């Protein structure tokens, strides 16, 4: 087996973000294309048959592609300045697991595939799990094609420049029919396994989570020449939203609300902004809790905007229902892995998107820092190897 740690080391410099630290790898950018090419080489070196589907997801098949397959995989893109493991660990562990199975002479009884989903983080076009949502048909394909990146490039244009036909993007019945079960291995984004002193866990659930854009409009003006009484400064309600998000999160059970991105226009130091865009990420274990936070914050934003003579427009950019993974599959895998702990996750995943359509499970690998979406994200080589062996056991159990 080529260990996951060795495979990660081979791609370590790709998309390294000198300015922010960590990695910035976004769908179809140079770094992500380099990682796609690397993955195809690695898959073909393992006699896997590689195809790219209509939504730019990459599939590596052990034998003939077929229905009711056992599929594993994750993503290679990152958040801006993200860690080395979120996404790639699931992909390299799948390659290592294939090595383990081949070395023991395993022959799949069912089709088996490794998949790399496109734009899981939504780091370029703003909607997370874009590749798996398109495949599952849970995002309108026209809306997806029209999504724009910060430079104004549409997803359709980016697909075209990648050599894909954007008019074909959308629900992929054949791909969905082929997925019999999906298992995603992922670095834990939290400290659950550290506290339990275990290397691998099985996932129980994913929070209900979404992203909303609050666009505050005021009047651009001169920072020095404009009297306070004459201002309509959208930065005021924007700043109040940032603070209100934390307060709203405290008002629902296990709520989490974050503003990680705030963009003033035009963004000059001596300029009162004309508009300020604020992105809210809100999550909680129940759909009702997440919706309640967003309603509370929308009302507060309208009130704060009005007090400053500004307007606000709220747009829901993405939403994912709360996910409970298939309890039977979850418990079977936990038992198979020596009563591996069962942990919830606050992070969204492609597995969460597919869980509505096919029996789905997730494995987590210990992260000693518990930190994710930041350069401090980490997993020890030994734990990554334990994760790959656990994944091999699961694939053997499901496809053997
Ligand atoms: O945002 C998330 O939870 C995931 O990392 N895309
Ligand atoms: Mn992530
Ligand atoms: Mn991820
Ligand atoms: Mn001037």
CATH number of the domain enclosing 249? 3.30.70.360
- What is residue 98's predicted lDDT score, i.e. its pLDDT? 98
Where in the sequence is the domain holding 15, given as residue range(s)? 4-207+322-399
Q: Are residues 186 and 60 in the same domain?
A: yes
Whether 11 and 137 share a structural domain:
yes
Q: What confidence score (pLDDT) does residue 202 get?
A: 98
Q: Are residues 239 and 339 in the same domain?
A: no
Instruction: Note whether 196 and 235 are same-domain residues.
Output: no
Instruction: Compute, in angstroms, the gap from residue 185 CA to the centroid of ligand 2.
Output: 13
Boundary-marking domain end, from 288, 320, 352: 320
Q: How far apart are CA 4 and CA 89, in angstroms?
A: 7
**Distance linking the first and last C-alpha atoms of the chain:** 19
Do residues 362 and 183 lie in contact, with contact meaning Cβ atoms separated by under 8 Å?
Answer: yes
Residues contributing to the annotated binding site for allantoate: 211, 270, 283
In this structure, the answer to whether residues 197 and 326 fall within a common structural domain is yes
Spatial separation of the C-alpha atoms in residues 121 and 133, rounded to whole Å: 12
Query: Do 127 and 217 belong together in one domain?
Result: no
Asked if residue 35 and residue 68 are part of one domain, the reply reads yes
Check residue 352 and give left, alpha or beta (phi > 0: left; psi -120 to 50: alpha): alpha
Cα 222–Cα 150–Cα 243 angle in degrees, nearest 5: 60
Ligand 1 atom nearest 373 alpha carbon: 5
Q: Distance of CA 104 to CAs 94, 392, 398, Å? A: 16, 11, 16
Atom of ligand 1 nearest to the CA of 346: 3
Q: What is the interface pTM, i.e. ipTM, of the complex?
A: 0.91
What pLDDT score was predicted for residue 297? Answer: 98
- Interstrand relation of 200-206 and 275-284 (parallel, antiparallel or unpaired): unpaired
- For 77, 178, 379, the CA distances from 111, given in Å and listed in that order, are 26, 9, 30
Mark the ranges of the chain whose per-residue pLDDT is less than 50.
none
Which residues carry a binding-site annotation for Zn(2+)? Answer: 75, 86, 121, 186, 373
> Do 33 and 179 reside in the same domain of the chain?
yes
- 223 and 202 in a common domain: no
Q: How high is the pLDDT of residue 73?
A: 98
* 375 preceded by a cis bond (ω within 30 of 0): no
- Per-residue pLDDT, 195: 98
Can you point out the beta strands (E) in the chain? 49-52, 58-62, 69-75, 112-117, 179-187, 200-206, 208-217, 221-222, 256-265, 271-272, 275-284, 311-320, 323-324, 342-345, 360-365
What is the pLDDT at residue 95?
98
The domain tally of the chain equals: 2
Q: Mutation test of ligand 1: which of 347, 354, 362 has the most ligand atoms closer than 8 Å to its C-beta? A: 347
268 and 156, same structural domain? no
Give the residue carrying structure tokens 């874009």: 130
pLDDT on residue 320: 96
Given 292, 320, 348, the domain boundary residue is: 320
Last residue of a domain, one of 264, 289, 320: 320
pLDDT of residue 341: 98
- Per-residue confidence (pLDDT) for residue 319, from 0 to 100: 97
Give pLDDT, residue 94: 98
Neighbours of 123 (CB within 10 A): 21
Regarding whether 368 and 271 lie in a shared domain, the answer is: no
What's the pLDDT score for residue 96? 98
Q: Are residues 98 and 113 in the same domain?
A: yes
């Amino acid at each position: 087996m080529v260990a996951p740690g060795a495979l990660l080391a081979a791609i370590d410099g790709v998309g390294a973000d000198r300015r922010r630290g960590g990695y910035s790898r976004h769908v179809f950018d140079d770094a992500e294309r380099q990682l796609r090419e690397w993955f195809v080489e690695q898959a073909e070196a393992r006699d896997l048959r590689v195809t790219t589907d209509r939504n730019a997801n990459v599939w590596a098949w052990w034998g003939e592609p077929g229905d009711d397959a056992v599929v594993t995989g994750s993503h290679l893109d990152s958040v801006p300045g993200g860690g080395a493991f979120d996404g790639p660990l699931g992909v390299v562990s799948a390659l290592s697991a294939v090595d383990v199975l081949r070395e023991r002479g395993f022959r799949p009884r069912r089709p088996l595939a490794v998949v790399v989903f496109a734009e899981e983080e939504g780091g370029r076009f703003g909607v997370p799990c874009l590749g798996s949502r398109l495949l599952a048909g849970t995002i309108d394909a026209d809306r997806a094609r029209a999504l724009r990146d910060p430079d104004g490039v549409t997803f359709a244009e980016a697909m075209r420049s990648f050599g894909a036909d954007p008019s074909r993007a959308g629900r992929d019945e054949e791909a969905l029919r082929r997925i019999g079960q999906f298992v995603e291995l992922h670095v834990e984004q939290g400290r659950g396994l550290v506290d339990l002193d275990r290397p691998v866990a099985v996932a129980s659930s994913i929070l209900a989570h979404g992203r909303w854009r609050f666009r505050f409009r005021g009047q651009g003006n001169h920072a020095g020449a404009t009297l306070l009484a004459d201002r309509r400064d959208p930065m005021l309600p924007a700043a109040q939203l940032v603070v209100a998000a934390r307060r709203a999160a405290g008002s629902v059970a296990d709520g989490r609300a974050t503003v990680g991105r705030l963009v003033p226009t035009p963004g000059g130091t001596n300029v009162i902004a004309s508009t300020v865009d604020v992105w809210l990420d809100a999550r909680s274990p129940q759909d009702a809790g997440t919706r309640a936070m967003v309603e509370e914050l929308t009302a507060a934003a309208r009130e704060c905007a009005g007090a400053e003579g500004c307007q606000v427009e709220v747009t829901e950019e993405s939403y994912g229902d709360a996910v409970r993974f298939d309890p039977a599959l979850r418990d079977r895998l936990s038992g198979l892995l020596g009563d591996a702990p069962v942990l919830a996750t606050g992070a969204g995943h492609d597995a969460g998107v597919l869980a509505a359509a096919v029996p789905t499970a997730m494995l987590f690998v210990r992260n000693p820092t518990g930190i994710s979406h930041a350069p401090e994200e980490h997993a020890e080589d030994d734990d990554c190897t334990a994760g790959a062996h656990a994944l091999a056991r699961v694939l053997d159990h499901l496809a053997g």
